[in-house]
Structure 1
């Protein structure tokens, strides 16, 4: 495996919470791989989400990290689902170069019913709705947003549908989440979360090679035969290789991103690029919230006051901010 001389952790491992970009020129594919450890454990741990919700949000985090670290400008990538299922909202907010925050909203009663019935797949938890990818390059640039229906049984399939419909880039996504339970030095149970993922995209120099099989035409005349377009041989080979990845390999720290890429692409040769570290870091602050409260009317300030103070808790990082109402009254 070739490298650009970047030192990839101890013994050549990328390690946790660092995205590894790569390219396989022999197959005209580029991609990124990641294993998330302390970062994702901190995000999920502070909310104590039920297990199915934690897994779903962890997948969304891994997906957002893989996509967000490809941004070549200062800005944000926001990945959001909004549906009619028990988990009606997922929001993952990635700010370049590597800061991330995430939040899941769910209905306790509906979730309990779904879990009792064994309905805990991503499609069953999210229900019908939309998956949105928003790119924000700052206040002086127009936001770009791509939206697709949440068609597919998994978050992987939903993301691949987005790239196929909105970006017209052949894309393969694999995501995995692991819940680890062991014991500390005192013999007490210890719980932690891990996640991993890989995204691979086909980017040949000749755009016509990116042609994919046509999507079904909902308004096609009766008897119309759908045109068939086979995958490019290189893309078919790349997909076949990535399809062999086991979920455990994506989260096992003993495997590591570089070892996984070597196993997949050593015959074709993979070039790896500098690591991109990612961190659990929320963008909330007392100053920002104070500016919001300054815009409240006197009545709104009174309605927001309880026991002589205004309390605001960030939904993302759970930090609690307390304000004296006198700060916002004339």
Structure 2
């Protein structure tokens, strides 16, 4: 599909998508992510403060964008961890797998009236992000876990006051790939765009070197950078992915494959809970049962599913 020749209102289905696009005859690629139902389902699991809702929207969008930059069968997660005991945000994480299944979770302090009042005054994702501490404090991770393979963790330097700028800086510094990232969330919907200029292959570089008339557009990245920075937050959260691409790059030769649908999902299971019980040991598990009148529950923070275990269940776990 060549977006330069389509109308802006061409809607290709679900709002919850990652739409890839390429600029023809160039090393530039990008993705647009739009989240609605899956994001709403995620933040409905807990009574999150408004600022954390928006931060999780940005994180879900970022994870959905970044997994498109790696070729794995597995999942990618973004994790924020405060290094300040006085921070109101303990940690937050968002995850997307190669099939477009997303989920997110956060922990925050709201035990006192002062803390609750502080959250009530925050309405922006950047305010929740700032609870990591000042620039240089707090820890950001990108975790990549291939199915059946070795996990990789990248530490993202806290160089800026927004998640998008930190992630773009990480991509440029660690992968040596110029990257633009815009993220937005209004507490109801979320969206974002990622644009990268990939390195040319040795064959492409040789062809360019041998052919001065190869038609290389030296100003393309500068032009795309200016255009990409013009996108407004409300456009990222309300417009169809294809319309965003069309509005920004309708004078470029843009080609886009079929979009990837995104949806909320969870990987919790009774079997995983049983594994966790195994790790604490039979004696301690039985002690917990006694303290809780013969049953205890394990609930999933991501989806709210509750798994109940009694003495027979625990005994069966350790009898296997």
TM-score class, shorter:
0.7 to 0.9
Partner of 2:40: 41
Aligned pair 1:280/2:264, yes or no?
yes
Q: How far is the alpha carbon of 1:11 from its aligned partner? A: 4.2
**Structure 1 271/69 Cα, relative in aligned 2: closer, same or farther at 3 Å?**
same
Alignment map for 1:112-127 (pairs within 5 Å): 112=116, 114-115=118-119, 121-127=127-133
| Distance in 2 of aligned mates of 1:296 and 1:204 | 49
The alignment covers a number of residue pairs equal to: 285
Three-state SS of the structure 1 residue aligned to 2:186 is strand
Stretches of structure 1 that go unaligned for 5 or more consecutive residues are: 4-9, 180-192, 208-231
Q: Which residue of 1 aligns with 2:278?
A: 294
Q: Is 1:196 matched up with 2:197?
A: no
Q: Secondary structure at the match of 1:323?
A: strand
**Aligned position for 1:76:** 75
> Are residues 156 and 70 of structure 1, via their aligned partners in 2, closer, same or farther at CA, if it must alter by over 3 Å?
same
1:168 alignment counterpart: 176
4+ residue runs over 4 A deviation: 116-120
Structure 2 gap ranges (5+) = 4-8, 203-217
Structure 1 residue 261, shift from structure 2 partner: 0.7
Q: CA deviation at 1:79?
A: 1.1
CA RMSD of aligned residues (A): 2.4
Distance of 1:271 and 1:285 partners within structure 2: 40
CA–CA distance in structure 1, aligned partners of residues 242 and 31 of structure 2 = 11
Shift of 1:117: 6.6
**How far did residue 14 of structure 1 move?**
4.7
CA apart distance, 1:131: 1.1
Provide the secondary structure at the position in 1 that maps to 2:144: strand
1:142 to 141, 150, 156: 150
Deviation string 1:38-64 (CA, Å, 9 cap, x unpaired) is 100010012120101111111101111
CA distance in 2, matches of 1:197, 1:18: 11
Indicate which of 305, 308, 318 corresponds to 2:294: 308
Q: Matches of 2:173 and 2:287 in 1, distance apart?
A: 46
TM-score, L = length of structure 2 = 0.82
Say which structure is richer in helix: 2
Q: 1:248 aligns with which of 234, 238, 241?
A: 234
